[in-house]
Structure 1
Amino acid sequence: MTRGNQRDNDRAKAQKKANATKGKNTQTGSQFQKSKEDAASIMREKQRKADEKKAAETAGGKK
């Protein structure tokens, strides 16, 4: 009988731990906005480099 009880206790403990860490936002609004802008600028730079590479391949293939 104790095994079943221990299993239930472990499940409850694991559920409590999962709920405690779920969805916490530790950034303020301005920090969150800055991190979004930083990520967006990185992605724009990646896209620009990919476009340049694609244009170079297209130009090189036509010669």
Structure 2
Amino acid sequence: MARGNQREKAREKNLKEQAGKKKGNNMSGTEFAKAKEDTAAIMRAKQAAAEAKKAAEKK
């Protein structure tokens, strides 16, 4: 069990580490929405290609 000064030192160290980490996204709302829509369009294209490939294999 940490005693005395060790506990405070551990807290300070943890706070420094947490401050150094990058958190969340840094995009604005419109940028985030556009990125999300672009990703969705790419996924829809991939799904359409996969469905076309499956349909071609069945024939």
Q: TM-score range by the shorter chain?
A: 0.5 to 0.7
Give the superposed CA RMSD. 2.6
Question: How many residue pairs are counted as aligned between the two chains?
Answer: 52
Partner of 1:38: 38
Is 1:57 paired with 2:57? Answer: yes
Which stretches in structure 1 are left out of the alignment for 5+ residues?
none
For residues 52 and 19 of structure 2, the distance between their equivalents in structure 1, rounded to whole angstroms, comes to 45
**TM-score using structure 2 length:** 0.67
**TM-score using structure 1 length:** 0.64
Greater fraction helix = 1
After the TM superposition, which parts of structure 1 deviate over 4 Å for at least 4 consecutive aligned residues?
Answer: none
